A and B are shown apart, each in its own frame.
Chain A
Amino acid sequence: MSLGKLLERIIQLVPVLLGVSLIVFVMLALTPGDPVQIMVGEQAITAEQEAELRRDLGLDRPLVERFFLFVANAVQFDFGQSYYHGRPVADVIAERLPATIELSLVALIVALATAIPLGVLAAIRKNSIFDRMATVGSLLGVSLPGFWFGILLIMLFAVHLQILPVSGRIGYASEVLTVTGFLLIDTLLAGDIAAFGEALRYLLLPAITLGLPMTAILMRVTRTSMLEVMRQDYITFAEAKGLPRRRVLYRHALKNALIPTVSVAAIETGSLLGGNMIVETVFGWPGLGRLVVESIFLRNYPLVQAAVLLYAVTYVLLNFIADILYTVLNPRVKL
Chain B
Amino acid sequence: MKALPRLLMATALAATPALFPAAVAAEDLIVGFTLDADTLDPANHRKRETETIIRNLYDGLLTRDANMLVVPELAESITQISPTEYDFKIRSGVKFHDGSTLTAEDVKFTLDRITVENAMGGQTSPRQGLMGPVASVDVTAPDTVRITLKEPWPILPAMLPNQQIVSKAFVESVGNEGLATQVNGTGPFKLVEWRKGDAIIMERFDDYYGGAADIPPVDKACVDRVIFKIIPESASRVAALLAGEVHIINELPAFSISQVESNDGTQVMTVNGTRSFFIAMNMEGEHFDDVKVRQAAAMAIDKQLIIDKILGGNAAPIDGILSPDAFGASELPKVGYDPEKAKALLAEAGFPDGIDVTMDTEGAFKDTAEAIASMLTNAGIRTTVMVGEGAQLSDKWRTKGAPKSGDMYFTSWGNGSLDPFDIFTPTHKTNDRGNSAGYANPELDAILDAAAVELDVEKRRAMYRDAEMMINADQPYVYLWVPKDIYGVSKRVTGWQPSADSRINLHDACLN
The answer to whether residues A42 and B434 also contact, given A52-B124, A168-B229 and a CB cut-off of 8 A, is: yes
Chain A, 67-85, contact with B by CB distance < 8 Å: what is the 0/1 string? 0000000000000000011
Counting CB contacts under 8 A, is B218 at the interface?
Answer: no
Q: Which residues of chain A come closer than 8 Å to B4, judged between CB atoms?
A: 114, 118, 137
The answer to whether residues A44 and B198 also contact, given A114-B4, A159-B239 and a CB cut-off of 8 A, is: no
What's the A-B contact tally at a CB cutoff of 8 Å? 203
CA distance A172 to B245 in the complex (A): 11
Query: What are some 13 contacts across the A-B interface (CB < 8 A)?
Result: A40-B126, A43-B129, A52-B117, A53-B126, A86-B38, A92-B196, A133-B2, A134-B1, A151-B233, A169-B195, A196-B20, A201-B22, A282-B235
CA distance A112 to B117 in the complex (A): 57
In the complex, what residue of chain B is closest to A197 when comparing beta carbons? B20
CB distance from A284 to the nearest CB of B (A): 4
Q: DSSP class of A's interface residues: helix, strand, loop or mixed?
A: helix
The answer to whether residues A284 and B230 also contact, given A43-B130, A96-B196, A133-B1 and a CB cut-off of 8 A, is: yes
Counting CB contacts under 8 A, is A155 at the interface?
Answer: yes
B13 is contacted by which of A158, A163, A200, A291 (Cβ under 8 Å)?
A: A163
- Tell me which residues from 13 to 57 in chain B have a Cβ below 8 Å from any Cβ of chain A: 13, 15-17, 19-25, 28, 30, 36, 38-39, 41, 44-47
Q: Which residues of chain A come closer than 8 Å to B11, judged between CB atoms?
A: 110, 204, 208
CB distance from B365 to the nearest CB of A (A): 15
- Tell me which residues from 182 to 212 in chain B have a Cβ below 8 Å from any Cβ of chain A: 193, 195-199, 201
Q: Are A284 and B227 in contact, CB atoms less than 8 angstroms apart? A: no
The answer to whether residues A282 and B395 also contact, given A45-B129, A85-B38, A204-B15 and a CB cut-off of 8 A, is: no
Chain A, 285-302, contact with B by CB distance < 8 Å: what is the 0/1 string? 011001100000101000
Q: Which residues of chain B come closer than 8 Å to A322, judged between CB atoms?
A: none
Chain A, 194-205, contact with B by CB distance < 8 Å: what is the 0/1 string? 111110110011
CA distance A163 to B11 in the complex (A): 12
Q: Are A290 and B197 in contact, CB atoms less than 8 angstroms apart? A: yes
Q: Which residues of chain A come closer than 8 Å to B244, judged between CB atoms?
A: 162
Q: How large is the interface on B (under 10, 10 to 19, 20 to 34, 35 or more residues)?
A: 35 or more
CA distance A212 to B67 in the complex (A): 49
Residue from the set B11, B46, B197, B434 with the largest chain A CB neighbour count within 10 Å: B197
CA distance A198 to B432 in the complex (A): 53
CA distance A195 to B19 in the complex (A): 11
CA distance A200 to B11 in the complex (A): 11
Q: Are B17 and A163 in contact, CB atoms less than 8 angstroms apart? A: yes
Q: Are B391 and A38 in contact, CB atoms less than 8 angstroms apart? A: yes
The answer to whether residues A171 and B233 also contact, given A95-B196, A197-B15 and a CB cut-off of 8 A, is: no
- Tell me which residues from 224 to 254 in chain B have a Cβ below 8 Å from any Cβ of chain A: 225, 227, 229-233, 235-236, 239-240, 242-245
Q: Are B197 and A42 in contact, CB atoms less than 8 angstroms apart? A: no
CB distance from A139 to the nearest CB of B (A): 10
CA distance A158 to B17 in the complex (A): 12
Residue from the set A34, A163, A284 with the largest chain B CB neighbour count within 10 Å: A284
Q: Are A201 and B126 in contact, CB atoms less than 8 angstroms apart? A: no
Counting CB contacts under 8 A, is A166 at the interface?
Answer: yes
CB distance from B368 to the nearest CB of A (A): 20
CA distance A246 to B16 in the complex (A): 34
Q: Which residues of chain B come closer than 8 Å to A45, judged between CB atoms?
A: 129, 433
CB distance from B272 to the nearest CB of A (A): 19
CB distance from B371 to the nearest CB of A (A): 24
CB distance from B250 to the nearest CB of A (A): 14
Counting CB contacts under 8 A, is B394 at the interface?
Answer: yes
Q: Are A281 and B233 in contact, CB atoms less than 8 angstroms apart? A: yes
CB distance from A296 to the nearest CB of B (A): 10
CB distance from B492 to the nearest CB of A (A): 16
Q: Which residues of chain A come closer than 8 Å to B117, judged between CB atoms?
A: 52
Q: Which residues of chain A come closer than 8 Å to B44, judged between CB atoms?
A: 86
Counting CB contacts under 8 A, is A63 at the interface?
Answer: no
